[in-house]
Structure 1
């Protein structure tokens, strides 16, 4: 396969497309399976709108693999993996059969009462660039929400225009989606999800019950885990319960983000010596790391390439704010040694004293 960009979906071509309707099984909503594919003429306005709707939400970020189902022994026992594998082997002959199979698996997974039914678009895509490789992909895109829109018709015989209200899928927002790439088949294929900021039942059923995915252990995975580890250490250990004031906590978080933002390669000794610094704090961090790995059941690597995409996403969780009485906020971006905390016995209140050279 030819090496191009790391990740690029701008030249993806739609090879095959079908729509099935998948309801909520618990609510006794039906599943309606199509008999035929949809024919879309290439590069028409409709084709471009559909492709933009499918792919706009996918940006460089975390990747997944199909997982061995709980209680099973092999990846071949994951039904979604098997359906994708068979489709990749012969897309023209297997497309309708496997797309219907995938829809039935989604229907079986749609059992929580809050899961909405909707249209499932199954697409076969060509010319996806993933980690520099040009590969095919299977796209699964679910539309759950409908929007009302007004449609103005032709001018009538009496001289006015017809006006109708219709309901349809908005191409501005994809509810749920995934791309299954034809690479790393032996590990469970590379899979990318449309990012969901919530951990609600509606979001997790798609990832965990229907697709049965596990994180791909790559640089994004390692970077994200280490930043989560650092944030957890500050919140649970390096805190006021252990005589660490809020400014010092924020300073450690800020220096951690700066380290990951500036470094191309992560090395744990470099991180501990330049970010954590104090020997007793380093020792506490190392002990916390062991507990973190056991509780989260994730491997923590001591060396890896830093993923800038993971840093960009994870640092949003690193708060540099001191919130006081829910009405006053102090932002600490550095020089935490210039902030002192005290207690005023006359007012019976805490206070912060800030030292500075210039006011801007």
Structure 2
């Protein structure tokens, strides 16, 4: 996705409160007045981070995709730019109806229409949504009657997007950032109503989470170490792995029923199901299995992390003592 020539066409800001606290909805009467400096800030600090780091999803609906509210109003804006304000108001009302969890903070809701985004030679528009739930304190300097004062203010930080989404014209694809998802998952599940795309990156992330969960289920530290070695060897020997391969190396340590339960857990957490024979790139998967191959579990709540890439744990022996346990660990260091 090339955004080097992207432009801001329209911007509007509404204030959306928490519905359960009856904070209300304040819709802006006009679009924002823009400048080249503001446009540059919006492109650099809102659009670019979502394009660069956003997770890929697809807008969805249980029965008919035309009933997906975001898809409906985004398509309206892409076809008729004069409906931008009207559509943004409808989307803000939809966001308010979704803001019914006590952990959701009320705040500004920024809607931006972008143009001239290029993908494979095609020029697309994009509709961006950015939710601000918390603000940062900063210092300003003002002068009044010859006296220069330091003034404490509160504003929107450009360092990190709290919640953002970019809907692309001509498709159901949406790029999403949700850095406050630990509070509530309403942004993706209720507001956007989107499902994760089965991208190579997402599949590797899910497979990595599954291997980590399996490792945590292995009973003894020595068996967990042996399991980690098998994972590392496979990642080195093969260009890609499948769910069948992961099952094969796991069945010696936990039973099939436990693996099935862990698969259900990862599906619920990430929203996608790994196909049995879907190839998962080893290089991608290695990024999500670092903790499995570099971290050795010694006892409940006690682990040993090896951060030296040239060092590997060759054996681990844990014995109980009156006051706890004694651990003997052999570590091999390349070139030593």
Match of 1:248 in 2: 226
Does residue 97 of the first structure (1) align with residue 90 of the second (2)? no
**Other-structure match for 2:212:** 231
User: Contact 2:57–2:195 at 8 Å: present in 1 too?
Assistant: yes
Residue 256 (structure 1) shift: 5.5
| Counterpart for residue 82 of structure 1 | 72
Counterparts of residues 272-291 of structure 1 (less than 5 Å): 272=245, 281=252
TM superposition score normalised by structure 1: 0.75
Q: For residues 47 and 337 of structure 1, do their structure 2 counterparts lie closer, same or farther at Cα, with a shift above 3 Å needed?
A: closer
Deviations 1:161-213 (A, max 9, x none): 244333222222322111111143xxxx1011114374332xx1111111111
Alignment correspondent of 1:3: none
More strand by share: 2
Task: Name the CA distance, whole Å, in 2 between partners of 1:136 and 1:324.
Answer: 53
Partner of 1:338: 314
Once residues 213 and 304 of structure 2 are traced to their aligned partners in structure 1, the CA distance between those partners, rounded to angstroms, is 22
Contact 1:225-1:300 within 8 A present in 2 as well? no
- Alignment correspondent of 2:194: 213
- Aligned pair count reads 328
Output the TM-score relative to the length of structure 2: 0.80
Structure 2 residue 158 is matched with structure 1 residue 171: yes
Question: In terms of mean alpha carbon deviation, does 122-131 or 284-293 score higher?
Answer: 284-293
CA contact (8 A) 1:267 1:304 kept: yes
Question: Which residue of structure 2 lines up, in the alignment, with residue 193 of structure 1?
Answer: 176
> What is the CA–CA distance in structure 1 between the aligned matches of 2:273 and 2:333, rounded to whole Å?
46
Unmatched 5+ stretches in structure 2 = none
- Return the alpha-carbon distance in structure 2 between the equivalents of residues 131 and 61 of structure 1: 19
Q: Could you tell me how far apart the structure 1 residues matched to 2:262 and 2:207 are? A: 10
Q: Is the 8 A contact 1:222 1:300 kept in 2?
A: no
Change (3 A) 1:56 1:309: farther
Q: Is the 2:310–2:333 Cα contact (8 Å) retained in structure 1?
A: no
Query: What SS does structure 2 have at the residue aligned with 1:140?
Result: strand
SS at match of 2:225: helix
**Structure 2 residue aligned with 1:51, among 21, 43, 46?**
43
